Chains A and B, each alone.
Chain A
Amino acid sequence: MSFRTAPPAQLYTGDKQALFTAELRTAIENEIAKYPAERKQSAVMASLTLVQDANGGCLTIALMDQVAAYLDMPPIAVYEVASFYGMYDLEPVGRHKVCVCNSISCLLNGSDELLTHIEHKYGVAAGGTTSDGKVTFKEFECLGACKDAPVVLIDKTYHERLTPAALDQLIDELD
């Protein structure tokens, strides 16, 4: 959706140095530097990822508002991005995220078996977190690694050609 007349920015008048931690601000500044100055809102996805990681894996409205302020964007524009992409979580999550790809190649190669297995073994459906708060399971749109389907993304690592037993072993190895 493009806007004809809306000013691209909503300038934040508060003190940006009061937002986030100094470390996080530096990391976000590194992302902003990758784009032309007048397009700094292009750094919204990277910023959300950084902020989410720093917040234990999930975003809150308050954090999204801060990202909006930092990038001089209207808050709703940040909500749109954060609610669109699967890698952002707007609800509290477990210590680890296990994302099972559900798209066509993985589905044909048994990702639905993985999902059924998870539901029976760990007692949570996709989207849920185990009662000990260890793992949040997610059903994910195409992870883009079709040649080695089925694929599971555990935290930041891709694991390919998984069977239920191999997945169990990976989960057991998590702290």
Chain B
Amino acid sequence: MSDKITIEIDGRSCEAAAGEMIIAVADREGIPIPRFCYHPKLSVAANCRMCLVEAEQNGRPFPKPVPACATPVGTGLKVWTRSAKALDAQRSTMEFLLINHPLDCPICDQGGECELQDVAVGYGGDVSRYSEAKRVVVDEDLGALIATCMTRCIHCTRCVRFIAEIAGTRELGATGRSDHMRIGTFVATGIAHELSGNIIDLCPVGALTAKPSQFKARAWELTAHDSIAPHDAVGAKIQLHVRRGQVIRVHPRCDEAINENWLADRERFSYEGLTSVARLTHPRLKRDGVWHDVSWDVALQQVAAVFNTVPGDDLGVLLSPQSTLEELYLAQRLFRAHGCPNIDSRLRQQDFRGDAVDVVPWLGLPIADLEQQTAVLVIGSDLRQEQPLLAHRLRKAALHGATIALVNPYQVNLTHPNHQFVAAPQQLLTELAAIAAALGGRGAGEIANLIAQATPTDAHQTVANALKTAGESQHGRILLGALAAADPNYVAFKALAYLIAEVSGCGVGYLPPAANSVGVYFAGALPHVTAGNQPAATVGLNTAAMLSNPRRAYFLWGFEPDNDLIDPTAARKALNAAEFVVIGTAFTSPALEAVADVLLPIAAYAETAGTLVNAAGTWQRFQGAVAPPGEARPGWKVLRVLGNAFNCDGFNYQSAKDVHDELLTNCGECELTTAPQGEYSPLVTRPDPIELTRIGAVPIYAVDSLVRHADSLQQTPLAIPFQAGLHPDEARRRGLNTGDQVRIQQGDAVMTTTVVIDTTVAIGTIRIPAGIIDSEQLGAQIGAVSFSRV
């Protein structure tokens, strides 16, 4: 963009870069040009012809109106967007587009916010001269999220280009010719992509609309409330569209630094869970094994009364890393004041040996900078499932030539060039050691042994070289994901990650799994960290210790132990053995009722004010948009009242902002760093020779209660059932086929399931998802299992 030129649009002198399209310059200058097919994030198609303008260059007029989206600017260019010739061309195009468009605006979901309506009013004629028959197009079945009415389609191909260029799967196309042309998959396969919902926003007409909110409201009845997406650590900016106290739909807000103008389906459609019948609407108390709806006063007094009789040390406090900063801060303040240091929010981690040297597990750089990386090594992450939008940033980097390498217990599905090293968890460390060895790293202790034994192949060398080159220009990253965090040898993964980073010059970052995984450090909701990311005076028990050494009483906040804890069987055992279990939750279930003694109904994300800290460490505050159902109350209010019931000082906050401000003062100038405060010196856990290692990734639509209760998301192909994926060689060795029933034994836990032959699974592992129905019958996400045929 060095050589700037000056062009003239509608008599106004505009600065432009040579080669830019006219429409991009006009958009920057605020000069309106109508368009349907043009989108700044997509390639130029120039097939709607709506942006025709009159132009001349160096005094020579272009013979015909030119499309502003596909005409690059040059010196001496003059453009008229509103001349008689331009207006005539625009009006004619509009007339053509409307020939086959049905006049069904009154029953169309897009009505009132339709680009076609707006542009027709602004640039079209007022009478149609077309009296012949209009064409009718059979609708496509694009799955549970996207409703189609293909007769309305004007063939702008934005959806086709989005799926090809951004999603990278090329599932949609324009088949047929002329008036037989239609947009679709041709073979009715539907679209299975985690970003598919964006084509609803892109569609300028009502051909693609949101199925879950179909026919629920008209655009002008909705009020928009700004909020922050609650399911991953991107913290995408969203807008909740509300009618009569109910969230009707969710749209993205554009922020180039965070989510650009995209939104993952998980964030877009999870609002459905807000109105689930499983919502908890009353405080409930179990007396002699029978549940009673009670008032808040009774419930909270009971909680305070029982907790006052239990010494702080005998308490266990587990908080969801999805809770707001305010809730996390108040909960830990409350229980620390009560003398209980056993507070944790890392629910899907089993190896806590690195606590003493850990830094805040954040991305290590601004989200948008991921695109500028030239080599990235991802350790233990099913990228697209865990981090849809971060995966999109990495895809952009890959398409610009970056080397993306992944070390995973199974082959992950990506839509860009990549190097994958797939092996069972124990061998993954060997793979990493090979990369470290290729870089000339030595390490210490057990890591040094691993590296000494490693034999780097050409593939390891290629990745090592790319990391080295990227490290030299400060554009290399090592990223640790949720599958690494769930591993019993997480510390070893971290040690190797930091070693590779050191010898290659790359930075280390983490892919935080939940919306507030970074925030828990600021809030101090950890056994070894207190508010403001300060070391705790008394280090309490971590999640694993709290469950393996059962406490007398537990306080659980914002999650379901059967689905959100790494080892549901151990959790159930500990909770069943406890005298008193209090669960603050937005949803109830028979499993919760079985283990709890008190259930406190708390507000879900659209119903409370709060703050989330995203992967890049950005604090984002949001307000509640709708009232929680029944007696449910925002979590921070519940904790404030509970604080007063406990006679804690200073629990007189008037608003969530008071809590936020107090915490912010506590945090002061908390700088996020990436270098650990010491050496990880792991003893690699080597269990007895094991038959198979279970790999329990959490499917994309099972990450939290809200998503699990969003019906439409559960009907998509990405919501996978409980099954056991086996590599063909493993299956052959055991004489198993797809469809066979097997009995899985993990520790004391036993569960029967169906075998699926899957070439993406590593030899020596069995892939059984976590976080979904039936997975609660098993143990830790990653751990030894044995099985037998039923």
Are A and B genuine complex partners? yes
Closest CB in chain A relative to B778 CB, distance in Å: 32
**Pair A7/B157 contact, Cβ less than 8 Å:** no
Given A5-B168, A6-B168, 18 other A-B contacts at CB below 8 A?
Answer: A1-B157, A1-B174, A2-B44, A3-B161, A3-B165, A5-B43, A5-B396, A6-B164, A6-B165, A7-B399, A7-B416, A75-B187, A76-B171, A77-B170, A77-B173, A79-B186, A79-B187, A80-B174
CB 8 Å contact bits of B410-421 with A (1 = contact, 0 = none): 000001110000
Interface size of B by Cβ–Cβ distance < 8 Å?
A: 28
Contact mask for chain A residues 78-101; partner B; CB cutoff 8 A; 1 contact, 0 none: 011001110000000000000000
Tell me, in angstroms, the Cα distance from A1 to B164 when the chains sit together: 11
- A50 shortest CB reach to chain B, Å: 21
Please determine whether A3 and B164 come into contact, CB atoms closer than 8 angstroms: yes
Say whether A1 contacts B175, CB under 8 Å.
no
The 5 closest A-B pairs by CB, nearest first: A4-B43, A76-B173, A74-B170, A83-B175, A6-B164
Bound-state CA distance A1–B161 (Å) is 9
Q: Does B176 reach chain A (CB closer than 8 Å)?
A: yes
Tell me, yes or no, whether B172 is within 8 Å of chain A by CB: yes
Residues of A within 8 A of B187 (CB): 61, 75, 79
CB <8 Å contact, B417 and A7: yes
Asked if B399 and A80 sit within 8 Å, CB to CB, the answer is: no
Which residues 168-194 of B sit at the A interface, judged by CB distance below 8 A? 168, 170-177, 185-187
Chain A residues with Cβ below 8 Å from B172 are 76
With a 10 A CB-CB cut-off, give which of A2, A77, A80 has the most chain B CB atoms: A80
User: Across the two chains, which residue of chain B brings its CB closest to A4?
Assistant: B43
- A92 → chain B closest CB, angstroms: 18
- Show 11 residue pairs from A and B whose CB-CB distance is below 8 angstroms, ordered by the A residue: A1-B45, A2-B45, A5-B165, A7-B168, A7-B417, A74-B171, A76-B185, A77-B173, A79-B186, A80-B173, A84-B176
Does A55 have its Cβ within 8 Å of any Cβ on chain B? no
Give the docked Cα–Cα distance between A80 and B155 (Å): 14
Q: Say yes or no: B47 contacts A6, CB within 8 Å.
A: no
A-B contact count (CB 8 A): 61
Q: State the A residues within 8 Å of B (CB).
A: 1-7, 10, 61, 74-77, 79-80, 83-85
In the assembled complex, the CB of A143 is this many whole angstroms from the nearest CB of chain B, namely: 16
Output the nearest chain A residue to B37 by Cβ-Cβ distance: A1
A3 to B166 alpha-carbon distance, docked (Å): 10
- B residues near A2, Cβ cutoff 8 Å: 43-45
Q: In the bound complex, how far is the Cα of B168 from the Cα of A85, in angstroms?
A: 26
B399→A10 contact, CB < 8 A: no
Name B's A-contacting residues (CB within 8 A): 42-45, 47, 157, 160-161, 164-166, 168, 170-177, 185-187, 396, 399, 415-417
Question: What distance in Å separates the Cβ of B173 from its nearest Cβ neighbour in chain A?
Answer: 4
Chain B contacts for A79, CB-based, 8 A: 173, 175, 186-187
Interface contact B186-A4, CB-CB below 8 Å: no
Listed residue (B168, B171, B172, B177) with the most chain A CB atoms within 10 angstroms of its CB: B177
Which chain A residues border B416 with CB–CB below 8 Å? 7
Contact of A3 among B43, B171, B176 (CB under 8 A): B43
B170 interface neighbour in A4, A6, A61, A84, Cβ under 8 Å: A6
Alpha-carbon gap, A80 to B187, bound state (A): 12
Residues on B with C-beta less than 8 A from A1 are 45, 47, 157, 160-161, 174
Main secondary structure of the interface of A (DSSP, over half): loop
Residues from chain B with Cβ under 8 Å of A4 in the complex: 42-43, 161, 165
Closest Cβ–Cβ distance, residue A132 to chain B (whole Å): 28
Chain A residues with CB under 8 A of B165: 3-6
**Interface residue from B44, B175, B396, B415 paired with A84 (Cβ < 8 Å):** B175
Which residues of A sit under 8 angstroms from B157, Cβ to Cβ? Answer: 1
Q: CB-nearest residue of chain A relative to B165? A: A5
A100 shortest CB reach to chain B, Å: 18
Task: Give the distance in Å from the alpha carbon of A6 to the alpha carbon of B177 in the complex.
Answer: 23
A5 with B399: in contact, given A74-B170, A76-B185 (CB under 8 Å)?
Answer: yes
CA distance A4 to B44 in the complex (A): 8
> Nearest CB to that of B42 among chain A residues?
A4
The distance in angstroms between the C-alpha atoms of A3 and B177, with both chains bound, is: 19
- A76 B186 Cβ-Cβ under 8 A: yes
A6 to B170, CA, bound (A): 8
A80/B175 in contact, CB under 8 A: yes
- Docked-complex contact B176 and A83, CB < 8 angstroms: yes
Task: Identify which of B47, B173, B417 gathers the most chain A CB atoms within 10 Å of its CB.
Answer: B173
Report the minimal beta-carbon distance from A12 to chain B, rounded to whole angstroms.
14
Shortest CB-to-CB span from B95 to chain A, Å, is 23
Complex-state Cα separation, A48 to B176, whole angstroms: 16
- Expressed in whole angstroms, the minimum distance between the Cβ of B172 and any Cβ of chain A is 7
| Inter-chain contacts of A83 with B (CB < 8 A) | 175-177, 186
- Complex: chain A residue closest to B415, CB-CB: A7
A2 to chain B, nearest CB (A): 6
Give every chain A residue within 8 A of B176 (Cβ-Cβ). Answer: 83-84
B129 → A minimal CB distance (Å):
23
Determine the chain B residues whose CB is within 8 A of the CB of A75 once the complex forms: 187
Taken together as a complex, chains A and B put the C-alpha atoms of A83 and B175 apart, in Å, by 6
Q: Which residues of B contact A84 (CB under 8 A)?
A: 175-177
Expressed in whole angstroms, the Cα–Cα distance for A54 and B164 within the complex equals 32
Complex: A129 Cα to B165 Cα, angstroms: 41
Please tell me if the beta carbons of A10 and B42 are within 8 angstroms of each other in the complex. Answer: no
Residues of A within 8 A of B161 (CB): 1, 3-4
For A77, list chain B residues within 8 Å (CB).
170, 173
Complex: A3 Cα to B41 Cα, angstroms: 11
| A75 closest partner in B (C-beta) | B187
Nearest Cβ in chain B — how far from A93, in angstroms? 18
- Smallest CB–CB gap between A86 and chain B, Å? 8
- Write out the residue numbers on chain B whose beta carbons fall within 8 Å of the beta carbon of A6: 164-165, 168, 170
Residues of A within 8 A of B164 (CB): 3, 6
Most A Cβ at <10 Å: residue of B165, B185, B186, B415: B186
- B175 — which chain A residues lie within 8 A by C-beta? 76, 79-80, 83-84
CA distance A167 to B43 in the complex (A): 48
CB-CB under 8 A from A85, the residues of chain B are 177
CA of A58 to CA of B115 in the docked complex: distance in angstroms?
A: 41
Closest chain B residue to A86 by CB distance? B177
CB distance from B352 to the nearest CB of A (A): 41
For the complex formed, measure the closest distance between the CB of B110 and the CB atoms of chain A, giving whole angstroms: 23
Chain A residue nearest to B161 in the complex (CB): A3
Q: Nearest A residue to B176 by beta-carbon distance?
A: A83
Within the complex, the shortest CB–CB distance from A56 to chain B, in Å, comes to 22
B45 — which chain A residues lie within 8 A by C-beta? 1-2
When distances are taken between beta carbons in the complex, the residues of chain B under 8 Å from A7 are: 168, 399, 415-417
C-alpha gap A158/B88 in the complex (Å): 43
Q: How far is the CB of A31 from chain B (nearest CB, A)?
A: 22
Residue of A nearest to B43 (CB): A4
CA distance A54 to B317 in the complex (A): 71
- A2, B69: Cα distance in complex, Å: 13
Q: How distant is B201 from chain A, measured CB to nearest CB, in Å?
A: 18
Residues in A whose Cβ lies below 8 Å from that of B160 = 1
The answer for the CA separation of A6 and B163 in the assembled complex, in Å, is 9
**Of the residues B43, B170, B177, B415, contact of A76 by C-beta under 8 Å:** B170
Q: Given the complex of chains A and B, what is the CA–CA distance between A3 and B187 in angstroms?
A: 22
Complex: A75 Cα to B169 Cα, angstroms: 11
Residue of A nearest to B164 (CB): A6
Max chain B CB contacts within 10 Å: which of A2, A3, A77? A3
* A74 partner residues in chain B, CB cutoff 8 A: 170-171
Min CB distance B159 to A, Å, is 12
Assembly CA distance A80 to B183 (angstroms): 10
Question: Considering the chains assembled together, what is the distance between the CA atoms of A83 and B180 in angstroms?
Answer: 9
- Contact partners of B396 in chain A: CB under 8 A: 5
User: A66 CB to closest chain B CB, in angstroms?
Assistant: 14
Alpha-carbon separation in the docked complex, A77 to B186 (Å): 10
Instruction: Give bound CA distance, A3 to B172, whole Å.
Output: 13
CA distance A84 to B173 in the complex (A): 12
- Bound together, the chains give a CA A2 to CA B396 distance in angstroms of 18
Give the docked Cα–Cα distance between A114 and B42 (Å): 47
Report Cα–Cα, A2/B45, bound state, in Å.
6
Cα distance A113–B174 in the bound complex, in angstroms: 33
- What's the minimum C-beta distance from B152 to chain A, rounded to whole angstroms? 20
What is the chain B residue whose CB lies nearest that of A84? B177
